[in-house]
Each structure stands twice: as structure tokens, then as C-alpha cells.
Structure 1
Amino acid sequence: MTRTVLEAGGDGWAVFGGRRAHQVVDHVDLRLDRVTEGFWAVVAEFEGPARAWRFAEVERYRAPGGPPMWRGPRAGEWTTSLDRAAYVEGVRAVRRAIRDGDVYQVNLCRVLSAPLAPAAGEPDAAALAARLSAGNPAPYSGALHVPGGGDHPAVWIVTASPELFLRIGDGWITSGPIKGTAATIEGLTAKDAAENVMIADMVRNDLQRVCLPGTVEVTRLLEVEPHPGLVHLVTTVRGALTDATWPAVLRATFPPASVSGAPKHAALDLIASLEPVPRGPYCGAVGWIDADERRAELAVGIRTFWWAPEGGGVLRFGTGAGITWDSDPDAEWAETELKAARLVGLASR
């Protein structure tokens, strides 16, 4: 069984796309189930399930003003799944695999963790979402909190993602892969542009599996997008969607090309051998589906925090970089630091 019907009025809320939803009434694995009605919040883990929760009530939402009351971990308590030496050696391992012809590009990531044990219940995801909204506004920001209980696993996600994984609407499916990150426009390199084009081509191939022949096209190429503290190179790809179901769409496109590598299956094998902990929702997908309107918007799960109760409570955040033959190991480590610094600072005390 993949579908779990929950009692109407159950706990849980989500904020995505200018809407706030509450009262969870249904829970499915999106890789296996057809979603035909209602508003759903989605969290797809990089290695595993793509869970979706349907909500009974949905309303328009504007983030509240005033100082957010988030109380996070101490700044000095964050640890990393790969320290600098291990990450640099990982970059070298990817370059060796590229030299041997096994892969062309691999996204190498690490997960930051800090203890966070709330006084009662689970941490206030809404407070962290407000903190990020004020200090690091992002086009695909959102949050989802469904407390754990019984056979239902908890989910606690706050994202400030700048990257579009999939948008569906008006018969089209669109993706906006990011490759190329620097503190300023002047810091973007030819390596960034070449990597972006490579990943965009992967996205084109993925979308062609669920789009009408001849309709997949690049509508924006290597566009510079400014975000707080850094800039990205973004390419936009779209196609006319067939009547493919969500399981078929995810089989064709997941995990996102920009956070896996090329060829995708070989890159995933190398990632599994080099990264010591699962990515979880980081580099997966986070967002919403409105099945009644046949619209959806899923972000790549980057610049994303997630909390779990294990060990008294742990807050996590992922960061990574795309590795090519032209990669400098120390520069790639510095890129992971750049991507994490502002957001981890906002989440810390």
C-alpha cells in the first residue's frame, strides 16, 4: 500500500507559492501513486521516497512582518560530513574518474549538522522560515512541518532554494538548472559556463522522455541571476508535456541533473562511494502540486534545512559543488563554504 488516508484536521502545515495549507488528510509516495485532486506539499529525498501530503484547507499567504523568534544552534556547533581534506580528496577522486572516462561531471556534496533539542515538541519551522525570508529571500522558498506520530514519519523542512527543478502549467514542463556560482559576476568562469551547458543538455534529454517530440527548447541560456551574497548562471529548458503521470515524470527526471552529474547513473554510483552520509531532502525536490489546476512547482532541495529528532534533535544543511576536469579542489571547497555561509549564519545563534 502506498496511500495513507489521515483523519481530516490532522496536524501539519505547509507554506509554498504564496499559499499556506493545513489539515493533512492524505499521504502518498509520489513515485508510485497518481495524484488527481487537491493541493499537495512534496518532499523528495535524493536517495529515496518522494513523499506528498494533501491538505484540506489552502489560503493565500503573506509572510508576517516583525522579528522572527527563531532560536537555532550555536554557530560553533556545526560539524561537516566531509572536512576540508576529505572533500579535496573527493574532488581529486572525481577528476580521476573523469580522466578514466567513467564520468564527465559529478556534484560532490557534504552535510552540515548541529544539535538542536527544543524545550518541548519540535523546533518552530515557521520561525526559521521567517528568518530566512527576511535575511535571504529566494524565489522558491517554503516550509513544511508534519509532526511524527504512529506510523506516520515526521517531516520538517525549511528551504530558501533558488533553483527550479520542475514547473508544470498550461501544458508545459519547465526546468531551470543552476551551474556556476561566484561571489560576483566577475568571479564566474569559462568552466562555469561549460558546466552549465553540459547540465542543461542533460535536462533536455530528461524532459524529452515526457514531452511531445520536437517541443523541448532552451528559452534562456547562461543568464546571470543575483542572489544574496552570490550570483548564479541559470539556463531555462521547457517542453510540451504529454499526459505523463507523476511517477513517469519522476522516473524521467529525478534526481535533478544539476545535483547529480553526467552520465547520471555513473555519477550516482560515484557519489554513493564518496559521500559518507545520505543527502536526504538536500538535492532532492521540495515544493507543491495543485492537482485541481494541473499546476506544480518543485524546487531543487538546495539551501535547505531539515530537522530530525534522533539523538535529541539534529538540524542539517547541505552544500556542494559541481566537479569537472577543470576543477581546482581548493576552489571547489571554497564554493561549498560560500553557499553555506549566509544561510548557516542566519540559522545559528
Structure 2
Amino acid sequence: MTERLQISSLPYREDPRAYFASLRQRPGAVLLDSGRPAAFGGRYDIISSDPVSLLSVDGQGNVRVDGALCEQRNPFVAQQALLESLSLEFPASHLPFLGGLIGYWGYDLGRALEPVGDASAPVVALPTSRTGLYDWALIQDHREKASWLVATHARREQVLGWLHQPAPPGADFQLLSPFAGEMDRAGYARRFAAVQAYIRAGDCYQINLAQRFSAPYRGDLWSAYLRLRQATPTPFAGYMAWPTERGEQAILSLSPERFLHCRADGHVETRPIKGTRPRGATPEQDRRLADELKASHKDRAENVMIVDLLRNDLGRVCRPGSVRVPQLCGLESYANVHHLVSIVCGELEAGRRPLDLLAAAFPGGSITGAPKVRAMQIIDELEPSRRSVYCGSLGFVDVRGNMDTSIAIRTAVADGERLHLWGGGGLVADSDVEAEYVETLDKIRHLMAALEGGKA
């Protein structure tokens, strides 16, 4: 029997913590956070917990639903089947999510799609992908200043009961030592030189080279997320945590970058970021750095390469002739950095679904390089550790055909008693090794400072 969803209003809260704090320790609790209150916020927060089913993909590519091994090894096909199993009758609504999948797709999921190789680099033990099938959501619309509960009648009563329970007390968070990188300047320089050799040989035009920083910690990861959120408000943030035998695992993402947005009518948009400068200490310095970025031929060239790559990716599933670029290398300024951001749009071909689009474009070109498959192979060869969730994607796929996902940059990953951060940047033929090394630090320096207890 198909159950009917109801949409009922709740008191509006500008900050999603007011609701999520009561739910965060429930099974499968997820927060997709648009960054309010902040000048850099988006429109919607999406909160849920207690999924109907949970699909995970392990490091060997095995797909499991609620712990049972699936014969289907293509994770996107398995996720589509799970999505279609959600039988709900829903009213017409402008809200982006009325039930469906919420979770993450780790960077290494690309191994299921492309011939990347099988390097033996150390792996963070999180599942490669973890997506829940949710039949309810609490959604905050910051444009309309309204909060909505989307649920069946029975679920609604459950959720209201959970929300009326006292929020569990927050605990302190503490790093036990400062973040340490897995490569020093000399190690980065050797890898930089290897990338330059590949570019000169014609293997590639651009490689996104990243480095990982790690630190032991103790305490409450939710408190850590709140520190990060205060330091760097962004429109595509997210938090999810779950217990394991090895200790807690969690994702604390403060991403500024949208990966793929798809509407139920088939309109598709991606917003690649390439080109970065730090914010200035004074208005004059800030303006100078922004103008320098806008005038940089190198940064614009990097951005244009990725736009071409994404045009090709979208063209695999979009109607011929529909892919266009309404914004090329526009300046967008966030709390800690300026970025060059382009917009690529298209219209899904008849019969194609959002998960087809995600598979066609995964992982995002802005954090791999061009051409994509060769770039991924070189990344696999040069980076000392697997990327885990970093440079993958967080987001949702709605039962009606809406999808919104981010690129998981500015993202911390907790595994057991260690917390990991990555910083990276695109390398091209005229890149400068020292400038690129500093950029990897600039992108996450404020996150490190916030977690280490200093000022961002």
C-alpha cells in the first residue's frame, strides 16, 4: 500500500543546529547545511535520520544493502533500484526533497567506472559510498523563512517526539597534536616535477594534486563541525557520523562547490571552481587579490579546461545541443578565499535519470584534471594516500528526479581516533611549485586553525 506524504509547517530556525541537535545521535542522522546564518549561504537545509534502508560500498567495490551483499556491483545502478523501491504518494511542492537518497559518494567510487588502477596506497576505512533511503525530511527554506516537515502521518508523530526530547549535551573536542602533512615541501616538489613531465610528454593538460594532513583527536565531532562552520560558512556543507567497531566515523564538509544540480524537469547545472586567491586583510588588499585572480591567464586557462571536460561529461547524458556555458570564470568571494566559478548547463536526454548523470560525470573534473581518466591514473600513482570522501560528493537524490550534490572539498574525515584534511590544486604547464604548495595550505589553513583551537 502506498503511503501519502504530508507537508506541515514547523517554527522557522535560521540555524539548523536548533533542530539537528535533537536528532544527531539517531541512526543515519544527516544534515545538508546551506551555511546560514552567513552572507555566503544557500537556500535549503535538509535534515533526516532513521533511513528505511542503507546502501554501502566497501573498498573492494562490494555493494551491500542493510548488510546483505548485492549481486549488482555497479553502485549507481544499485542506488537507482533502491530509490525506486520507495513507494510514496506525494503532493505537488516546491521543496527540493520529498524522500529518496541522502549520503556521500567517495572519490574512489570512480574505480568502479574507469580504468584507474589498483594502487596499494593507505586507505581511510570509511565505506567508499554510504547512502540512506529516507522517507521523511525536515527542510528549512531560508528564502521564505519557513521550516517544513515532510513525512507520512505515522512518521510525523515519531519525528515530533524525537524533536521534543532534550538535545544530548555537547562534549568538548580537542586535537591531541597539530595536523601533520604526509609530504613536506621536497616531497610535494618531486610530485610536482613528475606532473610537469607528464604534461610535457602530452599525457595530460592539467592534474589536481592534493596532500593529506592528519591529527589524533578526542571528543565530540559535532563540536568540531560547529567550529568549522563558524570558521568557513559555505552553501554546500554537510555533517554525518556513525559508530563502528573501530570508533566513530564521520564527514564534516564545508564545501563551497556545487557539483551537479538536476531538477525534476531535466534541467542540469554544474558550477566548477578553478582559480583561488586568499581574502585580503584590508578592503584594498582584498580588492587587489580579487582583481589579480580575474586577470590571471593561468587560472582562467585551468577553469576553461575543466569547463570543456564537464561539457563533454554532461554531453554523455544530455540532449544534443542543449549543453551551454552561461557563466565563464565569474568571480565568487567566500569567507576565506576568492574563486573563479563557471556554470555549465544542459537538459537530460529522455529516459535519463539523475543517477545516470552522476555516474557520467563522476568524479568531478575540477578535482581530477584533463583528460580525466589519465589524470586519475596519475593522481593514483603520485598521491601517498587514497582520497576517501575528499573530492567525492555529498548530496541527495529525490524520488521525483531532483538532485543536488557538492564536491567534497574543504572536508574533514574522521576514522577511529584520527581526523584527516586534504588540500589540493590544479597544476598546468606554467604552474609555479612554491605558489601551488602554498595554495594547498591556503585552502585549509583556516580549517586547521579552527580545529586546533586557534582563530580562523
TM range (shorter): 0.7 to 0.9
Q: Deviation per CA, 1:152-173, whole angstroms, max 9, x where unpaired?
A: x975111110011111113111
User: What is the letter of the counterpart of residue 226 of structure 1?
Assistant: S
CA contact (8 A) 1:70 1:131 kept: no
User: What is the letter of the counterpart of residue 140 of structure 1?
Assistant: F
Q: Structure 1 residues 105 and 70, CA, compared in 2 at 3 Å: closer, same or farther?
A: farther
Q: Distance in 2 between matches of 1:113 and 1:252?
A: 32
Within the alignment, does 1:113 sit opposite 2:214 as a pair?
yes
Q: Distance in 2 between matches of 1:236 and 1:62?
A: 23
Q: Distance in 2 between matches of 1:318 and 1:10?
A: 28
Find the residue that maps to 1:77 and give its secondary structure. coil
Within the alignment, does 1:157 sit opposite 2:251 as a pair?
yes
Equivalence for 1:100: 201
Which consecutive unaligned segments of at least 5 residues does structure 1 have? 1-8
The offset of 1:70, in angstroms, is: 5.1
Equivalence for 2:433: 329
Q: Distance in 2 between matches of 1:332 and 1:19?
A: 35
Equivalence for 1:124: 221
The offset of 1:146, in angstroms, is: 2.9
Candidates 116, 131, 140, aligned match of 2:236: 140
Candidates 90, 100, 105, aligned match of 1:39: 100
Equivalence for 1:272: 380
Equivalence for 1:174: 269
Q: Deviation per CA, 1:174-226, whole angstroms, max 9, x where unpaired?
A: 11000000123134221000110010110000000111111011111111010
User: What is the letter of the counterpart of residue 375 of structure 2?
Assistant: A
Find the residue that maps to 2:77 and give its secondary structure. coil
Find the residue that maps to 1:302 and give its secondary structure. coil
* TM-score of the superposed pair, with normalisation by structure 1: 0.87
Q: Deviation per CA, 1:231-272, whole angstroms, max 9, x where unpaired?
A: 000000011013324553233111110000111111111111
The offset of 1:331, in angstroms, is: 0.5
Equivalence for 1:73: 175
Equivalence for 2:148: none
Q: Distance in 2 between matches of 1:77 and 1:345?
A: 9
The offset of 1:10, in angstroms, is: 6.5
Which consecutive unaligned segments of at least 5 residues does structure 2 have? 1-24, 33-43, 57-74, 87-98, 110-127, 143-169, 279-288
The offset of 1:77, in angstroms, is: 2.1
Q: Deviation per CA, 1:288-343, whole angstroms, max 9, x where unpaired?
A: 2222x32111100100011011xxx1111111010000100010001001001111
User: What is the letter of the counterpart of residue 100 of structure 2?
Assistant: F
Within the alignment, does 1:185 sit opposite 2:269 as a pair?
no
Equivalence for 1:316: 420
Q: Structure 1 residues 55 and 251, CA, compared in 2 at 3 Å: closer, same or farther?
A: closer
Identical amino acids, percent of aligned pairs: 32
Q: Distance in 2 between matches of 1:134 and 1:47?
A: 29
Equivalence for 2:133: 54
Find the residue that maps to 2:441 and give its secondary structure. helix
CA contact (8 A) 1:12 1:147 kept: no
Q: Structure 1 residues 244 and 70, CA, compared in 2 at 3 Å: closer, same or farther?
A: farther
Q: Distance in 2 between matches of 1:239 and 1:72?
A: 45
Find the residue that maps to 1:317 and give its secondary structure. strand
Q: Distance in 1 between matches of 2:384 and 2:202?
A: 24
CA contact (8 A) 1:41 1:144 kept: no
Find the residue that maps to 1:117 and give its secondary structure. strand
If asked which structure has higher relative contact order (CA below 8 Å, sep 6+), I would say: 1
Candidates 387, 393, 396, aligned match of 1:288: 396
Equivalence for 2:9: none
Within the alignment, does 1:11 sit opposite 2:27 as a pair?
yes
Within the alignment, does 1:339 sit opposite 2:435 as a pair?
no
Q: Distance in 2 between matches of 1:106 and 1:192?
A: 13
CA contact (8 A) 1:31 1:246 kept: no
* TM-score of the superposed pair, with normalisation by structure 2: 0.67
Q: Distance in 2 between matches of 1:339 and 1:201?
A: 24
Equivalence for 1:87: 188
Q: Going by fraction, where is strand more abundant, 1 or 2?
A: 1
Q: Distance in 2 between matches of 1:211 and 1:62?
A: 29
Bigger Rg over Cα: 2
Q: Distance in 1 between matches of 2:244 and 2:308?
A: 40
The offset of 1:12, in angstroms, is: 2.2
The offset of 1:148, in angstroms, is: 2.9
CA contact (8 A) 1:39 1:58 kept: no
Q: Distance in 1 between matches of 2:106 and 2:178?
A: 25
Q: Distance in 2 between matches of 1:251 and 1:288?
A: 14
The offset of 1:109, in angstroms, is: 0.4
Q: Structure 1 residues 51 and 335, CA, compared in 2 at 3 Å: closer, same or farther?
A: same
Equivalence for 1:3: none
Within the alignment, does 1:204 sit opposite 2:311 as a pair?
yes
Q: Structure 1 residues 221 and 42, CA, compared in 2 at 3 Å: closer, same or farther?
A: same
Find the residue that maps to 1:233 and give its secondary structure. strand
The offset of 1:62, in angstroms, is: 8.8
Find the residue that maps to 1:337 and give its secondary structure. helix
Q: Distance in 1 between matches of 2:344 and 2:430?
A: 25
Equivalence for 2:114: none
